[in-house]
Amino acid sequence: MTYRIAIAGLGQSARTIHLPAYKRIPALEIVGGCDPAAPPGQFAFPLFSSIPEMLNATKPHILAVVTPPDSHFYIAKLGLESDCHVFCEKPFMNDLSEADAIIALSKERNKQVVINNQFRCMRIHRAAKDKIGSPEFGKLLFLGMHQTFLVTEKTEAGWRGEDTRRTAKEFGTHVFDLCRFFFGEEPLSVCARMPRFGQPSGPDYLNLIQLEFSGDRVAQITLDRVSRGRHRYLDIRLDGELASIETSLGGRLEMRVGMQATARRPFFDLDFAPGGRARLYQGEQYSTLATEPLNVFAGATAELITEFLAALDRGQIPPCNALDNHRTLALMLAAYESDAKRAPVILRQHARS
């Protein structure tokens, strides 16, 4: 079956991630787009002046919501009321009440809502997940995540620079979802500090977050956008009982030559991965688990949509569905609550059954 998809929002995310992803999927046909700011003649599909007009004219099976978060609720609701499945960019909704309403409407209409948590679908993160619990790695004990992101006028253009809940809301959604993905369970508590350096109404450019999981296991997250140093998109270290896994998202070409101090042996390391890589370490010895190609974001989005369509074909619940993302949304909101209270937040009360 070929699925028709219409897209609301034709900004940078649509042009660099969604449209390249859709073109990789033979079972997907783009039937229309809607964005008041979209220049005519630059797209190989019809443009419409309003979303209702587009839905009425194209009758898509799926509506993609690739617009600022404040519009997600309205547009997803339009899609469901037009009997479309919905593929929505993150963050899913602004609050839990909006998420609850969309989940209820999707059940009423018997339609699926999937959020683009494509980081789960990246080769490096799936390879790391597959090793957790294996004889080589053992049980996951500790997870550390670090981002150093250089903020510029370009990165803060549009809604991102206008939202005071900047980093944990926009990027932290991926990080929280990955923590849930790797540990395979919901965290018990979250403790967050988001210093704003004397500007209480300013954006949260520094996130220091700790998640507690069962068995006294911990995730430590640092999202650093105050640094003026090197840009590192996302580095993750997963420490297990028997080994460690290091993943790095973002292209890299590094060569290291040196001497191992303890073994007194020279070493040579060529680290090349256009989009990222995952390595399993036991001491200084490592094996490469996976690498990523260029435009890893489009590739992972294509993988998620492919799994979405396969679930629709089989009449099953797709991955990264709205109910699952409700938990990630609750976790993100609890992090802001913890920062405001200057105290940890116990998360059982936020969980949705």
Q: 205 and 235, same structural domain?
A: yes
Q: 74 and 9, same structural domain?
A: yes
Any idea what DSSP says for residue 122?
Answer: S
How is 20-47 classified by DSSP, letter by letter? HHHHT-TTEEEEEEE-TTPPTTSSSS-E
Is 59 within the bounds of a domain?
A: yes
> Among the three residues 57, 86, 111, which one is the final residue of a domain in this structure?
111
> Among the three residues 89, 111, 133, which one is the final residue of a domain in this structure?
111
pLDDT at site 253: 45
Is 166 within the bounds of a domain?
A: yes
Q: 71 and 37, same structural domain?
A: yes
pLDDT at site 194: 98
Q: 191 and 55, same structural domain?
A: no
Question: Do 163 and 261 form a contact (C-beta atoms < 8 A)?
Answer: no
pLDDT at site 200: 86
Is 164 within the bounds of a domain?
A: yes
Please state the domain count of the chain.
2
Q: 286 and 137, same structural domain?
A: yes
- 3 state SS of 185: coil
Is 306 within the bounds of a domain?
A: no
Q: 284 and 176, same structural domain?
A: yes
Is 187 within the bounds of a domain?
A: yes
- The enclosing domain of 284 has a CATH number of 3.30.360.10
**pLDDT in tens for each of the 353 residues of the chain?**
999 999 999 999 999 999 999 999 999 999 999 999 998 889 999 999 999 999 999 999 999 999 999 999 999 999 999 999 999 999 999 999 999 999 999 999 999 999 999 999 999 999 999 999 999 999 999 999 999 999 888 888 888 888 889 999 999 999 999 999 999 999 999 999 999 998 888 899 999 999 999 999 999 999 999 999 988 999 999 999 999 999 999 855 454 556 566 656 664 455 555 789 999 999 989 999 999 998 999 999 999 999 999 999 999 999 999 999 999 999 999 999 999 999 999 997 544 54
**C-alpha gyration radius of the chain:** 21
Q: 196 and 265, same structural domain?
A: yes
pLDDT at site 266: 65
Question: Do 90 and 173 form a contact (C-beta atoms < 8 A)?
Answer: yes
Backbone angles phi, psi at 14, to 5 degrees: -65, -45
Closest CA to 175 of 136, 240, 224: 224
> Among the three residues 88, 111, 134, which one is the final residue of a domain in this structure?
111
Q: 174 and 95, same structural domain?
A: no
Is 298 within the bounds of a domain?
A: no
Q: 143 and 277, same structural domain?
A: yes
Is 341 within the bounds of a domain?
A: yes
- The enclosing domain of 7 has a CATH number of 3.40.50.720
Cα separation, 80 vs 74, whole angstroms: 10
The domain in which residue 23 lies consists of: 3-111
Q: In what order do the strands lie in the sheet with 113-115?
A: 47-48, 28-34, 3-8, 62-65, 85-88, 113-115
Q: 133 and 228, same structural domain?
A: yes
Peptide bond connecting 91 to the previous residue in cis, omega within 30 degrees of 0: yes
Is 253 within the bounds of a domain?
A: yes
Q: 204 and 85, same structural domain?
A: no
Element (H, E) at 103: helix 96-109
Q: 103 and 36, same structural domain?
A: yes
